[in-house]
Structure formats: C-alpha cells, structure tokens
Structure 1
Amino acid sequence: MCPSLSNMSFWFTDHLDEFRRLRTEFWNTPSVIEELKAYEARNDDYEYKILKGLVPKPLVGRVTNNVGPAWQTSDTFFTDFPEHNYPNRVLSSTEHSHIICNVACHDTRLYSSDIDPSSLDNTAAAGMSYMHLLVIPSSKVYNAISLSNTKLITEMKAHFLYFWNRDDSVNKVNRAIYDAMERRHAGVVRAYQRNDDSTAPQRLALLDAVMEECRISAVDFANTLRMNMSSTDVVFGFHSHPHHSVGHLHMHVLLSDPQFRTYSTLAHDWKTLSFEAVEHALGGDEAEPSIPGGWPA
C-alpha cells in the first residue's frame, strides 16, 4: 500500500522500520566505507560498485546544459550544482545547501504514451506534486542513509522554511515550475522534429492541445498556491539508497494537498520516507548516533 503524502505521520513507524532496515543493510555491505571515502574525496579513478546514481559513464568528460565543467566519474547531477546549471535553477542558497526545482515537469500528461517521444508511458518521470522542490547540500554527501547525525538535514529543512516565508518565494517557485513545464514541451517538440516521422504533424497538434490544458491548470495551481500559501501543508521526505535516483543527498519538498497532485505521479510515494522517521533513526538530538559497523575513522 502506498502512503498518502497528506498523512505521512500515520506511516511514521513503517518508515522508521524501513529506514533502519535499509541503513543496516547499507553499512553491513563489504567495502562500503572504502567506497564512500572515495566518493567524498572525488576519486575519479575508483570503480564504484555500491553507490548508485552517479553520472552515467557516457557523459563523463562531457559538458551538458552548455554550462560548467565536464562531468567526472565521481560526480552526480547534483554535484557542484550551481556550476553546472544556469543561475535561475537555484532558488536559494546558504553556505551549506541549495534549493532547486525538480527538473521534471509536474504534469504527467506531458509524459503519457501518446505524447512521450518514445510512445511509452513515462508518467513516472513527472514530478510528485505541482511543487516538487529539492534541497541539496553544497558539500558532497551521498544519501540520508550515509549520514551520521541530523545536523545537515536539520539545516536543509531550516533553509527551506526560511525561504518559504520570504515574500518572493511563491513567485520564484511558480516561475521555476512554469519553466520546467515549458522545457518539457520544448524537449518533446525537438524530439518529434528529430524523428522526422510522418506522424509528427499529428503528434504536434495533439501536444499543442495537451500543453494548452497543462498551462491552464498550472495557472490555477499557481494562483491557488499564491492565495493559500500560509495554510498550505508542505511535507519533507527522502528516497533512501538503493531506491534513490541521484547519488547526492536530496530532500524532497512537496505539497501534500491532493488537489496539487491531480496531474502528478504517485509512482514514488512508496519509497518516500518522512523527514521525521529519518531524523529519529539518525538519533534526533544526539550528536553521534550509532551506525551499524561503526562510523569510519
């Protein structure tokens, strides 16, 4: 059964047990400490076999987005994020963390089989709610499962709450969501044109019709969020190793109200562990909670 984001506290015990189980398995994996040390030291000569979500090998040595240095073996798509992306992709920064918008569009309709260039149902690639933000550390940290205490995730949450209470936050968020939607549309159009398929005109016509519906609903969501921001519930969650996508710690920040998830994917709810459960497992206010196998010296 998939937990509802609007009632994540109900699933606290299940999330806590699951995170503890995954954490024990992770720290009992042979050579995991050696591999983590190589990752944190940016060792690009190391052969990573345990850690997941690094930059795909075909992209190593290449520059993507026309921004920043070439990707290295130990990098992830969140490594040195501001250097690899245009400035407007970063909504807020502190010394320790950045707030970014999910690169995926929030609307599953732009990933359906009749729209996706692959003609496959790719709706699981969409965002998890109208607002799907990520808070990522500026330092190289693998996953919630590799943390030794709660200091970093506490800062990440505090950073978001500070940002959320700023006067300009809702406009920055809505703009980032709009930009992600338009990038998805442009990417699909380019893919149709590259395919040079005889069905391209018909597919483009359908895409335009669907995109118009997406824009209308996005405006409605944006206005609703703007008018009800102070009473809108936000939830924080983590995808623990080995169920994560990017091998760099990131905290998902989502709108829990079902109306904001009308066109978003529910495919990842099952693996979204609540902030509270992860915080508790990491020891809460304890400075150094125990780690199975011991924290590396």
Structure 2
Amino acid sequence: MGASQSSQIFVGKRREIKKQIEIFWKYPSARSDVDAYYKNAENHQYTKPPGYKGLRWIEKKTPFTDWKDKILAHNDKVIIIRNEASPDIRQYTKGEEHKAGMSLIHVLIISKENLFNGVSLDSTNADIIPQGIDLFKTSWDNDPSFRQAVLDHQVEMIRKRDRNVDIAMGHFEKMKEKAQALRADDFTFGLHLSPDHSVPHFHIHAIATPKEFRKHSTKVHDKKTKDVLEVYHIAKNRTNAPNRHRFLNAFMPRSWRGEREKSMQQK
C-alpha cells in the first residue's frame, strides 16, 4: 500500500480522524444500526440521533447497496465503480462546484458487504482498505482495458453535461496521453468520514493526484477528505465492541488484567 510523496495530499489529519470515530460511537444507536446494516436486517428501524450533523445517517439501502450497475473491476471483497460526476468544474454553475469530480480521473471503490462509513471500521474489517487499494493499483498498472474503461467513463460524464462540453473535452483530449502514462502511485485514496459523507455505504475515493489533473476539478472536499492509510492504521488498533472487554475481564485472572488494560491503552 505504498504511495509516492506527491500523492499524499490528505495526510496529517489523524487527530480529526480519531475525533470523528469517537463522536460517532457515542451515539446510542450507532452499534445497533451498524450491525443491522451489515446483517441486512429487514425489520430494523434506523434511528438518526438528535444533534447528528451529517446529511445522512445509516440507512437500510443506499445507492451502493447490492450494486448492480457497471463494474470496472472487482475481487471477493470490493468493487470499483465510476464516479457519477464530470471531472471538470467549469461544467457546473456557481454554487454547484461541489458536484464535480475531485480530479480528471476519479473512481470509487466500494465494499461488497454492507459496511457503513469508514468510522465503523476496526481490527475485524479494516483490511477492506488495503484490499480495495491493491485491486485498483493492480488493475491500473496491469490491465490496459481497465485503464481505458476508466478514461472512457470520464468522457461519458463530460458529455452528459450540457454546459461547456467543448471546453471540458478540449482539456481532456490534451491530457489523455498523460493519463494513459500515469502509474498507480500517481493516485491517492481518500475517505469522507461520518458526518461528512454523502453516501452511507463504505467507499473509497481514488483520484489522480498530479496538479495538472486537478486543475479544473473541485477542491471543495479536500478539507474533509481523510487519507485512507491514516484511517487504516487507526482502525486496525481499534475494537468497536467495548462490552467485549468487560466480558473478557470478568473471566480473566486479576494478575492479567493490568497488563491487558495497559496494552489496550497503548493501541
């Protein structure tokens, strides 16, 4: 999961990541709603907590749940799909800039399982992050048909807009050869952690990072975007089932408890 220095544009937010995770798990309905979404519980009533600042809480069905539309690549755990937005901000009117893509090349990596947003990840499921990144990197570097399908999608999204199509296409044509020459390490991977997400289902944003690829794309989301590797390293050292610790401690010899509690504090 290595990345070139030029692609690490969202790093340095570990404190914010930890805070967002801690705030999420303080909501009384967080555990039951996360579990219900994962289990696809038909009769569960999801409860958006009072005071929750996000647009969308956990939902029974999201646009990415049981994805049946076009798939660019997949493995046992994740699917790579297109981002339904033009990569060129000039195709959007004032006030709509946030709807544009974050780069000339911008795709999404979604989990096959019903995982909520990245704040729900812990040591049991955080490996969904390297599994998704590895699929993208392997596909981009080794499968020309994947790379071409991604570029074709960007053209499709540009042509779907009514505004400044020729201008946006002119820029894309100018960048097309450079796009073909990109390597996987020229991409960065970000998460919009709750409450900053727009779709509750877990997904990673994969974007081409070089400045010229982001020249006419939106940067509105940069501040809220968290680097996936920072999220991964925090999640791998977490457990989101605190009651389990109390259960284990009840059956643990007293001489062991101090060492275990010290170990947990260091994570």
Q: Same fold (TM over 0.5)?
A: yes
Deviation at 1:42, TM superposition (A): 2.3
Residue in 1 that maps onto 2:74: 93
CA shift in 2, pair 1:93/1:54, >3 Å: farther
Whether 1:234 aligns to 2:215 is: no
| 2:129 paired residue number | 153
- Does the 8 Å CA contact 1:16/1:277 hold for their aligned counterparts? yes
| Residues 16, 280 of structure 1: 8 Å contact kept | no
Q: Distance in 1 between matches of 2:153 and 2:243?
A: 41
CA distance in 2, matches of 1:131, 1:124: 16
Alignment of 1:236-275 (within 5 A): 236-275=189-228
When residues 258 and 295 of structure 1 are mapped into structure 2, their CA distance, relative to the original with a 3 A threshold, is: farther
TM-score normalized with structure 1 length: 0.72
User: Which residue number corresponds to residue 43 of structure 1?
Assistant: 41
Structure-2 residue corresponding to 1:219: 173
2: distance between equivalents of 1:231 and 1:74? Answer: 34
Aligned-pair distance for 1:148? 1.6
Helix, strand or coil for the counterpart of 2:41? coil
Partner amino acid, structure 1, of 2:210:
D
1:8, distance to aligned residue in structure 2 (A): 3.2
The code of the aligned residue for 1:127 comes to G
> Are residue 277 (structure 1) and residue 230 (structure 2) matched?
yes
The residue identity in structure 2 corresponding to 1:247 is P
Q: In the alignment, what sits opposite 2:256?
A: none
In structure 1, what is the equivalent of residue 263 of structure 2?
none
SS at match of 1:79: coil
Structure 2 unaligned spans of 5+: 248-267
Match of 1:105 in 2: 86
Distance 2:244 2:127 in 1: 16
Do structure 1's residue 80 and structure 2's residue 66 form an aligned pair? yes
Aligned to 1:269, the other structure's residue is in SS state coil
- Give the counterpart of 1:142 among 116, 119, 138: 116
Identity, in percent, stands at 24
Q: Does residue 1:29 correspond to 2:27, yes or no?
A: yes
Q: Distance in 1 between matches of 2:79 and 2:101?
A: 19
Gaps of at least 5 residues in structure 1 are 56-72, 114-120, 186-206
Paired residues of 1:225 and 1:232 also in contact (CA < 8 A): no
Aligned pair count? 235
Distance 1:132 1:213 in 2: 19
Alpha carbons of 1:74 and 1:161: their partners in 2 closer, same or farther (altered >3 Å)?
same
Q: Does 1:168 align with 2:145?
A: yes
TM-score, length-normalised on structure 2?
A: 0.79
Contact 1:54 1:76 in 2 (8 A): no
Indicate conservation of the 8 Å contact 1:108/1:264, yes or no.
yes
Deviations 1:137-187 (A, max 9, x none): 1111001110122211111111111111222222111101111222233xx
User: Residues 27 and 272 from structure 1, CA distance in 2 versus in 1: closer, same or farther, beyond 3 angstroms?
Assistant: same
Q: 1:128 to 1:46 in 2, by over 3 A?
A: same
1:23-42 Cα deviation digits (max 9, x unpaired): 11111211211111222232
Counterparts of 1:168 and 1:81, CA distance in 2: 21
Q: Secondary structure at the match of 2:33?
A: helix
Paired residue type of 2:134: A
Q: Distance in 1 between matches of 2:172 and 2:243?
A: 48
Cross-structure match for 2:156: 179
Equivalent residues of 1:126, 1:265 under 8 A apart: yes
* Cα distance, 1:290 vs structure 2: 3.3
